[in-house]
């Protein structure tokens, strides 16, 4: 039986069902019940009137929207060698952002200390403070128990094993929500909802120093039984006698970096690799094509298993454009089953470097506006 709490109404408003008539039609409630729930949401500042909508010749219909200015959301996209942070409004519109070449291998204490300073600076620049923060979304490489906000084990860097992210955060309002997920999952949420909303089934890859993969199936992020869905292995191809290895150990920004540095380059981050390729460095271009080819072969099996309509490539290496994306596409289309590749799109991220921050903010927004939470909140006196 459907709840008649205000959180159900808010869910629909967030989906774009935002006039009284549309809400009555979808919910099947009485006008009195709907009016009461709308009044509760308005009284608590969760929603605001949003003008009126034309009804095709009839009277204009009153519309409602989420009160985007009722607080702020913080977002962190932690990568292996690069981290991006942002502050958004309550509908995930980016208000301020920053980034630095600091990542997983600098350890949690270093990263969260840096983030605290940057967030405080950005809040002051916006004329706001920590008291305005309603939630934070954090994406981190490696397995995550998203329900508990605790990182799994083993991690690429043992300092992150079993870390409870809330314990790493500075002082935030007690009712602020904290959401933690894999870095590629937050990227996938951003791309699925804001970048490629016309696709319900996507495979999303984050290619940087490491390589991660996430699945959006039927419009919903699929995390797997323990939050580790998307751990790809290197394709066996003809080397059946070799042990199976994680994809990022043979085809990632990390392997490109190491091979370039052995040849005399001075590469630290995945952005450095892209910069070298853009300068016309033939070795960097060749290695990006080689790595893209291997990633594409690995994705061909995923395409066969899940039959997505789109494969979206994000992360810093995607900034190399067709040198990298084209190699992935050729391998996918060359190795995937004929039926699975019909109508398939293999393209670069539409959100670019903002994808992770936008996705982290969206997950924080989901937690903040969770239906039961909002229903309980609005039953209290404002």
pLDDT given at position 1: 46
pLDDT given at position 238: 45
User: Could you give the percent of the chain with pLDDT greater than 90?
Assistant: 75
Q: Rounded mean pLDDT of 17-27? A: 94
pLDDT given at position 55: 57
- Lowest average pLDDT, out of 203-207, 209-213, 245-249, goes to 245-249
3-state helix, strand, coil in the chain (%, to 5): 45, 20, 35
Where helices occur in the chain by DSSP H, the ranges are 6-15, 20-27, 31-43, 108-125, 165-168, 183-190, 253-262, 270-278, 282-306, 322-335, 338-341, 355-368, 371-378
For the stretch 143-160, pLDDT in tens is 888 888 888 877 778 898
For the stretch 183-198, pLDDT in tens is 999 999 999 999 999 9
pLDDT given at position 296: 95
- Lowest average pLDDT, out of 49-63, 230-244, 256-270, goes to 230-244
What is the β-pairing status of strands 72-78 and 345-348?
unpaired
Q: Rounded mean pLDDT of 44-68? A: 82
More confident residue, 19 or 232: 19
For the stretch 95-107, pLDDT in tens is 999 999 999 889 9
Domains and CATH numbers, the chain: 6-67 (1.10.10.10), 72-188+356-368 (3.30.420.40), 197-349 (3.30.420.40)
Rounded to whole angstroms, the Cα distance separating 152 from 160 reads: 8
Q: What is the DSSP string of 126-148?
A: TT--GGGEEEEEEEESS-EETTT
Closest CA to 62 of 23, 11, 5: 23
Given a cut of 50, is residue 240 above it in pLDDT? no
Given a cut of 80, is residue 182 above it in pLDDT? yes
Rounded to whole angstroms, the Cα distance separating 11 from 9 reads: 5
For the stretch 280-335, pLDDT in tens is 999 999 999 999 999 999 999 999 999 999 999 999 999 999 999 999 999 999 99
Rounded to whole angstroms, the Cα distance separating 90 from 140 reads: 22
For the stretch 351-374, pLDDT in tens is 999 999 999 999 999 999 999 999
For the stretch 72-82, pLDDT in tens is 999 999 988 88
Q: What is the pTM of this model?
A: 0.92
Could you tell me the two tokens for 178? 């904290």
pLDDT given at position 305: 94
Rounded to whole angstroms, the Cα distance separating 334 from 174 reads: 53
Is the separation of the CB atoms in 183 and 140 below 8 Å? yes
β-bridge partners, 65: 48
β-bridge partners, 164: 150
Given a cut of 60, is residue 242 above it in pLDDT? no
For the stretch 123-142, pLDDT in tens is 999 999 999 999 999 999 88
pLDDT given at position 60: 67
Q: Rounded mean pLDDT of 258-277? A: 94
pLDDT mean across residues, the chain: 91
CB atoms within 10 A of CB 69: 12
Given a cut of 80, is residue 233 above it in pLDDT? no
């Amino acid at each position: 039986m459907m709840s008649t709490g205000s959180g159900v109404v808010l869910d629909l408003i967030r989906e774009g069902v935002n006039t009284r008539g549309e809400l009555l039609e979808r919910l099947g409630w009485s006008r009195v019940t709907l009016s009461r729930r709308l009044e509760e949401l308005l009284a608590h500042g969760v929603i605001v009137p949003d003008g009126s909508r034309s009804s095709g010749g009839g009277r204009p219909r009153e519309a409602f929207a989420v009160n985007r200015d009722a607080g702020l959301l913080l977002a962190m996209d932690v990568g292996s060698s690069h981290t991006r942070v942002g502050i958004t409004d309550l509908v995930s519109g980016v208000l301020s952002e920053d980034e630095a070449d600091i990542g997983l291998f600098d350890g949690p204490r270093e990263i969260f200390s840096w983030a605290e300073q940057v967030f405080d600076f950005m809040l002051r620049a916006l004329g706001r403070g920590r008291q305005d923060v309603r939630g934070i979304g954090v994406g981190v490489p490696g397995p995550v128990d998203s329900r508990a906000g605790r990182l799994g084990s083993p991690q690429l860097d043992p300092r992150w094993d079993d870390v409870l992210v809330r314990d790493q955060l500075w002082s935030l309002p007690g009712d602020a929500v904290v959401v933690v997920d894999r870095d590629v999952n937050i990227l996938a949420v951003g791309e699925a909802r804001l970048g490629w909303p016309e696709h319900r089934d996507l495979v999303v890859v984050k290619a940087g120093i490491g390589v991660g993969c996430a699945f959006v199936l039927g419009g919903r992020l699929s995390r797997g039984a323990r939050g580790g869905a998307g751990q790809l292995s290197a394709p066996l191809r003809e080397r059946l006698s070799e042990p199976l290895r994680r994809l990022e150990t043979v085809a990632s920004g990390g392997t490109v970096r190491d091979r370039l540095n052995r040849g005399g380059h001075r590469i630290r981050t995945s952005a450095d690799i892209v910069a070298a390729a853009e300068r016309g460095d033939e070795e960097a271009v060749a290695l990006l094509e080689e790595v893209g080819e291997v990633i594409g072969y690995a994705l061909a099996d995923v395409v066969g298993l899940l039959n997505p309509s789109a494969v979206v490539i994000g992360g810093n290496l995607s900034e190399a454009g067709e040198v990298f994306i084209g190699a992935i596409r050729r391998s996918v289309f060359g190795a995937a089953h004929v039926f699975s590749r019909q109508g398939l799109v293999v393209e670069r991220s539409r959100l670019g470097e903002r994808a992770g921050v936008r996705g982290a903010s969206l997950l924080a927004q989901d937690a903040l506006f969770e239906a039961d939470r909002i229903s309980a909140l609005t039953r209290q006196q404002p």
